[in-house]
């Protein structure tokens, strides 16, 4: 079986930025703290659509919903958020409100987010709005009302602490915490239980990860887990549902 994020790990040239962040192949961010890329090198925006949106049954599940709460482990560059916001603007029910709540240990600076997202003209408007609103002080919770229908919260700090303090009601989860082999904390039994406990009945998760211990932790938490074909030639990914 291939490593589910193996194509994130092939390195090339390096230009140091912050202690945790390097730039490779131009504007591709790479975490030296975790030894991994932030998104797949084929096309992170299309990967988001395949893994996180389709894996959670989105945008179809937005139909008929006036409020929808998405949780994400690992905000990173905000790529998943911007792509989700772009699709939400086009495909959600009239007047419906999206709350996207992400949990991030090392929030990036606005200029780093802007550089990473500059690769995709499709999300130019979302990138600009996000970086314009993004604060300089990155502690506690970043809370941004980006338009009349979209609110972003980024809870800064370890995900287990943030999720454990969060209120229930999540409809979908994007599990995006680097490769499980490099960052077991983001896939631990405790964290999977904490997010399961805060998921609404029929709520879902999706991830590019396919490691056996991740699947077992999600099943032990209570999710019904399904294997699907991964993005860009990856054999498998996982998605699942909290039984009603
Ligand atoms: C693969 S990247 C996420 C990419 C992101 N979703 C995007 O759209 O760009 C994983 C993220 O998880 C964060 N992270 C790693 N360990 C964490 C932890 N224990 N708690 C919270 N965030 C963590 C990293 O700092 C990194 O930003």
pLDDT digits (tens, 9 = 90+) for 37-81: 999 889 999 999 999 999 999 999 999 999 999 999 999 999 999
> Buried b / exposed e across 27-41, counting CB within 10 Å, b at 16+?
ebbbbeebebbbbbb
- When pLDDT is cut at 50, 70 and 90, the band that residue 9 belongs to is very low
Least confident segment among 16-25, 88-97, 119-128, 181-190: 16-25
- When pLDDT is cut at 50, 70 and 90, the band that residue 20 belongs to is confident
Domain assignments of the chain as residue spans, ordered by start: 44-241
pLDDT tops 80 at residue 7: no
Distance CA 157, CA 154 (A): 9
Residues with CB under 6 A from ligand 1: 38-39, 72, 74-80, 103-106, 158-159, 176-178, 183, 185-186
Q: Could you tell me which CATH number the domain at 44-241 has?
A: 3.40.50.150
For residue 68, what are its two tokens? 């929808």
Protein residue with least CA distance to atom 4, ligand 1? 76
Mutate to test the pocket of ligand 1, among 87, 116, 119, 178 (most ligand atoms within 8 A of CB): 178
For residue 73, what are its two tokens? 């482990």
pLDDT 10s digits, 162-183 = 999 999 999 999 999 999 999 9
pLDDT tops 50 at residue 239: yes
- Burial category of 26 from C-beta neighbours within 10 Å (exposed 0-12, middle 13-18, buried 19 and up): exposed
The contacts of residue 8 (CB under 8 Å, 6+ apart) are 36, 37, 38, 39, 40, 41, 179
């Amino acid at each position: 079986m291939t490593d589910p994020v193996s194509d994130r790990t092939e390195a090339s040239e390096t230009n140091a930025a912050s202690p945790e962040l390097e730039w490779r192949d131009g504007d591709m961010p790479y975490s030296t703290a975790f030894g991994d890329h932030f998104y797949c090198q084929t096309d992170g925006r299309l990967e988001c659509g395949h893994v996180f949106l389709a894996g959670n049954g989105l945008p179809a599940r937005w139909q008929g919903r006036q409020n929808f709460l998405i949780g994400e482990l690992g905000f990173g560059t905000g790529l998943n958020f911007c792509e989700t916001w772009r699709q939400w603007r086009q495909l959600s029910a009239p007047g419906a409100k999206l709350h996207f709540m992400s949990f991030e240990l090392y929030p990036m600076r606005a200029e780093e987010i802007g550089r990473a997202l500059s690769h995709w003209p499709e999300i130019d408007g979302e990138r600009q709005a996000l970086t314009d609103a993004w604060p300089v002080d990155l502690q506690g919770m970043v809370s941004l009302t980006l338009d009349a229908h979209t609110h972003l919260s980024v809870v800064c700090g370890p995900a287990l602490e943030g999720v454990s303090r969060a209120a229930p009601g999540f409809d979908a989860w994007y599990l995006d915490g680097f490769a499980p082999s490099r960052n077991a904390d983001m896939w631990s039994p405790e964290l999977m239980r904490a997010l399961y406990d805060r998921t609404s009945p029929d709520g879902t998760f999706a991830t590019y990860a396919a490691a056996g211990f991740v699947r077992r932790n999600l099943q032990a938490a209570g999710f019904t887990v399904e294997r699907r074909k991964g993005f860009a030639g990856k054999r498998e990914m996982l998605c699942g549902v909290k039984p009603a």
